[in-house]
Each structure stands twice: as structure tokens, then as C-alpha cells.
Structure 1
């Protein structure tokens, strides 16, 4: 019974193994990126950037169909362009960066959906919006694994200035000129992981594997290293659990992965030892006694 429920799907079907490997690689890179987005109070920026890559990916689709290189290059170019454009608008106008990002991402989402829907079928539109984690091929797996490797290596290189930029950006600017470069590298890594997530989970769900594990991990630990490790662990657990649920209940795989991540978040919200509701309630009762 245990074998049939938890292991047989991956032992019997290659597409399930591919989906699991791709989702694990995605979680290893995206979850730590989500941790730093959360620490920088930029959680909604991830959602905006996920939508921002859509028109570039749609243009890649328009040129070459469901081609991995074309959609990847298009999505990466669009994501970086929106990030730079939103920053430029924030610096040169009265609008704040969150408002300019919101405007850019709404336009990007509408434009991308329009391009895909006018030149493709409903199946193609669903593929772009919700991904196809069960249809990952070798090329897609190599891309996602490569993005995870680059992300982890880059975080190891820029960790100190990145952490300082999260805690006290003004101090970093006073002692070093690396702040702008670190921010640009970080945003590039976010876009890269969203592009990888786009191929597996689609533009609407890619940010879920980035932010939900990070938010859940923060409710259990506060140390930065532990936060990244726990977030990646939650991302891997969500990927495995979501694929199991999808297989046995005949549900779409991408949404199932994000739903399991949401369940982990809700459990953490109640029982998390570093800020869950039960911990705070117990502390209040202790103080009242």
C-alpha cells in the first residue's frame, strides 16, 4: 500500500520522474530567491515579474512555437526589461516602484495572453499560463537544473552584500558602491528562476514555488542559512506531495504542487515555532497567568 501510494508512480512512469526532478531543481533555486524577496519586502514583486515575462515568452512562441530556447530568451528579455523599466519610472517620475511594477505587469499579462490566444489554441494558452510539469523533456530539465546551479553559486558569491542590502541598504551605500550591482544581479536571478518556473508551472503559478515555501519557512526559523534550507525543503516536499496528489486524484500537476505548498504554509501559520499563531497564543496565556 505504501509503495503503491508514494513510490510506484515514480518507479513506473518516466514522465513522473522527470516532473519530480524538474520540480526539485526548481525548488532548490527558487525558494532561496523567495527568501531574499521576502526579507527585502518585495514579495509581490515576484508576482509582478512572473507576469512580466509572459509577453516575451509569447513572442518567442509566435516566432518558433512551443520552442524552449525561443520562449526562454523572450521571457528573460521581457522580465529584465520590465524590471529596468519599472526602476527607471520610479526614479524619474512621482510613481513609486510598486505602482510602476503593477502597471507594467498588468500590461504584460494582457499583451501576452492576447498574443498567445490570437495565434494559438486554447491548449497552447493553458500551457503558457499553467505550465506542463508532466511534459518536461531533457532540454527543459537541463535548463531548470542550470538555472538552479547558477542561482546557488551566485548567492554564495554575493551573499554578504545581499544580506546587508536587505538589512541596511543605506549603510551598504555608504561603505560600498556594490549595492546597485548586487540588486541588478539579484533581480536577474529572480527573473531566471521565474523563467525556469514558467516552463514547469506556467506564468500564473511560477511565483508560488518561490514565495510560499519561503513564507512557511519564516514561521519556523529565523536564521538566514536555516531559512534558505528549510524553504528549499518545503519546496521539495510540495513538489513531491503535489505530484502524488495529482497522480492519484487525476488533478493538474502544477496547481497541485502549489496547493500542497499552500497547505504547508497554512500549517506553518498555525504551528510554526518562530511566529505561528499557536506559539503566540501560548505566550499570551503564559503572560496572563
Structure 2
């Protein structure tokens, strides 16, 4: 078992001092001991009028959610589980599909800089670590009905041991021997990098080309060039080569001589043909 010294709680007061206005870019930041889902809780807060750039961090999620209704489970204080409320008045809603990809780029840059380990992205929203490219983080963006608001959730495995991993293909910063497994500097760096990337993206009204986001995502995406097996709900699976990410953030797959552009909502799973 890990002790409180090995998995200390986040320093909420210091985080707020560093990240909240007027010093930092965020309007509110709460650290709670336990919550079923940070995305669900922050979406409720958004409907109640919570401001843009509100952050909710949980030391433990009892019912964390990933994409396609997958669960996200980790022991208390073993990772980062957070959600950020964004009221994107500058960006047309048609471009909001780029948000989880943007966060993926931010995660890659943050973990690479602090962790000093190989990082990559699996389309659309998984952070892969190490030489074997195992999953260490996921991203879930959800639109909040009733206003121009999106809640972006991030789950990052930090100090999980092999016996604590939720699935065989997962990993953590500690398992990959990252240079930093201290959650406080990781969270500060992640949120600052997110602000920087968001400002650039919003200045370009969400345009993935002129903002540089499209190029940055393609640079980090390990899915490109792979032979992939794509599971589509209610359709036969698709096997082909992942050729590109288009300007809408869709994965372009060449299969049977035809190119298909697949959006996140179209796909249940994308896996390498020779992998898990």
C-alpha cells in the first residue's frame, strides 16, 4: 500500500495562488476529496452559472467516465482527475470537435517536458507513454446544453503500480520511470499549457490550420501510418491505413481503395491491426 507521504494530497491553496486571477488565467479552482465524476459535477455547476475557466479536481473519482461510456478508475491520489469549464464565445461550435485533440497536444507537451519520456497520441484522445506506447491518459469533452459551454475532462495515471492498472494495456508515469511524478507541478504545468494553447486557438477562432493545432496534432499522432482496425457501431469493422487527420479532426482511413473520414462519434474503437 502507498502511504500519505508517497501519495500526498494536492496543495489546493498553493494551486489556487498560482493559477487563479489576477496572477493566473483561471476563474475558480476547487480540489475535492471524492466525486462520482468531475465532468458531471462541473457540468452541473456550468448550468448553475459557473464562470469560464472554472477547474474541478478530484483526489478520487468513484464513477469516472471515458469516451464511449468506458469507466476510468484509479486509487485515490494516484493520478490527476480534473475537468475544465470553457465558455468558447470566440470559437464557432462546428470547431469544438478539435478541443479533445487540443488537450491531447497539451498533455503530450506537458508530460514530455516534465516526465522526460517518450509520448504520443492515439487518435482521438489517448496519451501513450514509453517504447511500448501504453495508455496513461484519456480525455472526454462534453457540450453543456443551454449555452456556449464545454466541459473537458482529463484523467492521467501518475503513480499507479502494475497491479493497480485498470486494464493490461495501460501504464502510468511511475511505471515508465518519468522524471516527475509529483502531481502539483504536473497540474500547474498542464493548466498553464492548456491556457496558452487555448488562447492561440481562440485568437484564430478555432481554425486548426492557422492556429497551428492541426500540424501539432499530426506531429504527435502515432495512429498515422498504421494499419488499423476500426469498430463502427452497427456496421462491419473497417481495416485500412490511417493516412491523415483532416481539418475537422477526423481520422482519414484508406480501406479497399477508398478514403473514409471518421469522426469521434462514428467510432467505437480504433486499434492497430497487429496490436491491442
TM-score under structure 1 length normalisation: 0.29
Larger radius of gyration: 1
TM-score under structure 2 length normalisation: 0.30
The structure showing larger relative contact order (alpha-carbon pairs under 8 Å, at least 6 residues apart) is 1
**Greater fraction of residues in strand:** 2
